[in-house]
Amino acid sequence: MSGLIDLSLVQAVQALRKGDISSRLLIEAYLERINQLDAKLHAFLAIAPEKALAQAEAADRRLQAWRRHPEEPLPALLGIPVAVKDVLCVAGMPCTCGSRILEEFYPPFHATVVERLLSAGAIILGKTNTDEFAMGSSTENSAYGVTHNPWDLERVPGGSSGGSAAAVAARLALVALGTDTGGSVRQPASFCGVTGIKPTYGRVSRYGLVAYGSSLDVVGVLGRDVQDVASVFSQIAGYDTKDATTLDLPVPGMNVGEQADLSGLRVGVPEEYFIPGMQAEVEEVVRQAIHMLEKLGAQLKPVSMPHTRYALPVYYIVAPAEASANLARYDGIRYGPRVPAQTLWGVFRQTRGQKFGPEVKRRIMLGTYALSAGYYEAYYGQAQKVRTLIKQDFDAAFKDVDVIAAPVAPTTAFKIGGHGDDPLSMYLEDVFTLPANLAGVPGLAFPVGFDQQGLPVGMQLMGPHFREELLFRTAFTYQRATEWHKNTPEMVA
Amino acid sequence: MTLTREEVEHIANLARLQLSEEELALYRGQLSAILEYFSQLQVLDTTEIPPTASVLPARSVLREDRVRPGLNREELLRNAPEEEAGQIRVPPVLD
């Protein structure tokens, strides 16, 4: 049994094709892990065991037929177990977004990324926990309870894709989909010691993703290593007629490329990402990883990104402003619970007041204020202009370097409840991930070491728009030369 | 920068959020602190800087205007809190 969950996605695909393992046994192994461990972790909000097993049997029949006719094409992820963050619509399964306001909501359609996963033969195990409407950095804002970090159950897994990150780290899923509006794939990947891609804005369809900040939201992938992540990314990315913000550009294949070293690669190191107040071990470990890139042949160059510090106030104006509009649709009329009242106005106010959680209400109010008459120019208008300056920092840096290397978060996973009732101190956790969202560039987070308490430390590579393959190749070369991504929490061993 | 209780109530009204007295007090303090933190943006001179609404080049996407299958009405109504005669039931819109 333990042998099955030790296979990476790439290994499992090969073993399934050879007939060394069956999809049914693979799915059973993961469902058993969920049964054993999810009471401790709470990574999942819903699981679909019967459906998954039925799909696995269908996959096995297809694999058997294929072995007789191996010249026939086979879907790339046939028989592979995946988990999906509960902000993405899967028809036939609830989609709560971690919120009471969507309790019992069953979307009548699949998100495009889900459609593509299923067409590629993947099997959905269940939906993973998230901060309510993806607003948070710890999953503590889920209305259905916090997810625990598999490396230390007293700590958060990061967020908002914390359920997906914990599920992959604890091997309750082979790979998982997440979303990243301000770091929500990369930061939990870093806290849980897994690899996660935040693609370029416009690279992956958001049709069927419940909107939070529409100029920032992207769907990403979390997995055990770069190859696994790239394999899923190549299946879900690309133009979609149902999402006008996707671009019709070729998608790099899942083969991350064989290259001996990183010679010729220019890696930018922005000093603005190493700030006073960050955990000293995080800085130390990330600097060592950057040094490793140099040992692998890359050329390091200091770059200056002077507007980095403004990313936090810009994001926390732009994202809540967009959220205040996007979340206007939750009014107790068409879906979700309705709190009864005499008037329509009363239904809106009561339903929203009672069913949204504290952080969502806070951000709706913040966004409403920033967009309101008399304050629009000072807040939203100014934030949009400073966003231009942040984007220009990236444009300038990418004239001199191919990729930028930086820490993912200023700390490793913090204790559950560690930020108390201080929203601003929680927002500061996002300080290194927000700029990539504001500029729309891709970011790839992967484990590069541990702090003294044995908690994973992540590094991120950021690249120019639509250059995910450059990030994959660089991180793949790093992972081939190192072992950090192979470490697992005790509950896996 | 400190918001008044009335300002917080006004924002909550605009956002259609019914808040308790405790919530109004809590958000008053927290939003004031966050807005104070945002004030650092005011020091930047951005008079010559164009705003960024989207990082993608703006373009219109058109498609042929023809009938295609949509979502199933029965399935959609299954999510509605109150339903009557194939429609969503709501409280009176006009008094």
Kindly list the domain boundaries of chain B, sorted by start residue: 5-43
> How is A212-254 classified by DSSP, letter by letter?
S-TTT--EEEEESSHHHHHHHHHHHBS--TT-TT----PPP-S
Distance from C-alpha of A384 to C-alpha of B54, rounded to nearest angstrom: 9
Q: Exactly one of A22, A160, A161, A205 is catalytic; name it.
A: A160
Of A171-180, A222-231, B22-31, B65-74, least confident by mean pLDDT is B65-74
Interface touch B41/A313, C-beta < 8 Å = yes
Answer for the pair A22, A28: CB distance below 8 angstroms, yes or no: no
pTM recorded for the entire structure: 0.97
Minimal C-alpha gap between B53 and chain A (Å) = 6
| A91 to chain B: closest CA residue | B75
Look at A365 and B80 and tell me if their CB atoms are within 8 Å: no
Locate the domains of chain A by residue range. Answer: 2-264+407-486
- Mutate: best of B1, B35, B55, partner A, most A CBs <10 A: B55
Active site residue A160: yes
- The residue with greater pLDDT, B74 or A361, is A361
CA distance A384 to A414: 31
CB–CB contact A389 B49 (8 Å): yes
Mark yes or no for CB contact B49/A385 under 8 Å. Answer: yes
Q: Please tell me the predicted confidence (pLDDT) of residue A81.
A: 98
Distance of residue A388 Cα from the nearest chain B Cα, in angstroms? 5
B5-43 adopts what CATH topology? Histone, subunit A (1.10.20)
> Band of the pLDDT at B92, cuts 50, 70, 90?
confident
pLDDT class for B95, splitting at 50, 70, 90? low
Taking CA–CA distances from B89, the nearest residue in chain A reads A333
**DSSP sequence for A131-184:** SGGG--SSSTT-TT-PPPBTTBTTB---SSTHHHHHHHHTTSSSEEEEE-SSST
Average pLDDT, 10 consecutive residues per value, chain A (493 residues): 86 97 98 98 98 98 96 96 98 97 96 98 98 98 98 98 98 98 98 98 98 98 97 97 92 72 96 96 98 98 98 98 98 96 95 98 98 93 98 98 98 95 90 98 98 98 97 96 97 86
Q: Is A85 a catalytic residue?
A: yes
Cα separation, A2 vs A11, whole angstroms? 14
To the question of domain A2-264+407-486 being in CATH 3.90.1300.10, the answer is: yes
Q: By the CB < 8 Å criterion, does B41 face chain A?
A: yes
Nearest residue of chain B to residue A424 (CA atoms): B34
Q: What is the mean pLDDT of chain A?
A: 96
- Chain B closest CA to A361's CA: distance in Å? 8
Known catalytic residue: A23? no
